[in-house]
Structure 1
Amino acid sequence: MRLEYKINEYCGVKEVEEVFSKSGIRRPVGDGDRIQRMLDNADEVISVRDEGKLIGFLRAITDYSYCCYISDIAVDKDYQGQGIGKELIRMLRERLGEEEIQYILTSAPRAVGFYEKIGFERADKAFVIKRKNN
């Protein structure tokens, strides 16, 4: 295994869909146009490949001064538990800084413990208007 992390390097829709599927994260796999818009409109994408194969990535929206919303952290289940998600977040924080920016995300129920373990705090004042369509 030879992992290579890259910041804002191109990721193709099909390989992103494959990582979404293999990670267990719920995303609109099969809607390539929507996935492409998700990638195109992200401010930061950090990817990780194993010998060229995309096995994980982080996608974030930020104003680079006050807050950063981490919209996706997806790692192929075959690679989970090896610190890859933690490294993706570390790289984002190193890139954007820690003193001025607050990092925000929503978590799938099974991932809550992971986020707490790496330093995220639960927020009880968040609000959501859910999508009408998945």
Structure 2
Amino acid sequence: MYQYYNGLVIREGTEGVPAEYVEALFVDAGWASETPDWQKEKFTLIFENSAWAFTVWDDNKMVGMVRVISDRIMAANIMDLIVLSEYRGRGIGKKLVELCVQKLPHGDWFAHTSASNFDFYKRCGFEVKDLSQNGTCAYYGYIQARKEGHR
């Protein structure tokens, strides 16, 4: 599926997303740097193992992406929502969240994000719960990998 948004093209799909474009977005977001060659395939595999994904293109340049992990029935988790820094503030991120929620409109949605993004997700209709009342437990394998010298 393709759709147009403010002069950009949004593609839906989890296959054929070029690893180097994904890596460039991760680098721009500060999520990756100096990825070893043997690990670069992960930037394609994360899409192939996701339930849904959307990428945003300005001609042949990928300027945004989002991928979702879901059971496709009851719950979904937005894992990686990235918009290239020079394209932020144009509503691209909000549009990507809207497209995701349309895939499972009556399901429970969660966003894997940092507190600095809470206001953005509130504007998209998400609630930020009082974590002293309930919350999500997390184990971050990448942090452990860094401690062990694997990243």
**Shorter-normalised TM-score: what interval?**
0.7 to 0.9
TM-score, normalisation: structure 2? 0.78
User: Which residue is equivalent to 2:9?
Assistant: 4
What RMSD, in angstroms, separates the aligned Cα atoms of the two structures? 1.8
The reply on whether 1:129 has 2:139 as its aligned counterpart is: yes
Deviations 1:54-95 (A, max 9, x none): 00000111111100011100100000011000001111112x
Distance verdict in 2 for CA 1:108–1:25, change over 3 Å: farther
- How far is the alpha carbon of 1:29 from its aligned partner? 6.2
* Contact 2:98–2:124 (CA under 8 A) maintained in structure 1: no
TM-score, normalisation: structure 1? 0.87
* Contact 1:6–1:46 (CA under 8 A) maintained in structure 2: yes
* Contact 2:80–2:112 (CA under 8 A) maintained in structure 1: no
Larger radius of gyration: 2
* Contact 1:28–1:35 (CA under 8 A) maintained in structure 2: no
- How far is the alpha carbon of 1:25 from its aligned partner? 4.6
The structure showing larger relative contact order (alpha-carbon pairs under 8 Å, at least 6 residues apart) is 1
- How far is the alpha carbon of 1:28 from its aligned partner? 6.9
Q: Secondary structure at the match of 2:55?
A: strand
Equivalent of residue 120 in structure 1, options 121, 126, 134: 126
User: Which residue is equivalent to 1:33?
Assistant: 41
Identity within the alignment, %: 21
- How far is the alpha carbon of 1:111 from its aligned partner? 1.6
Unaligned runs of 5+ in 1: none
Q: Secondary structure at the match of 1:81?
A: coil
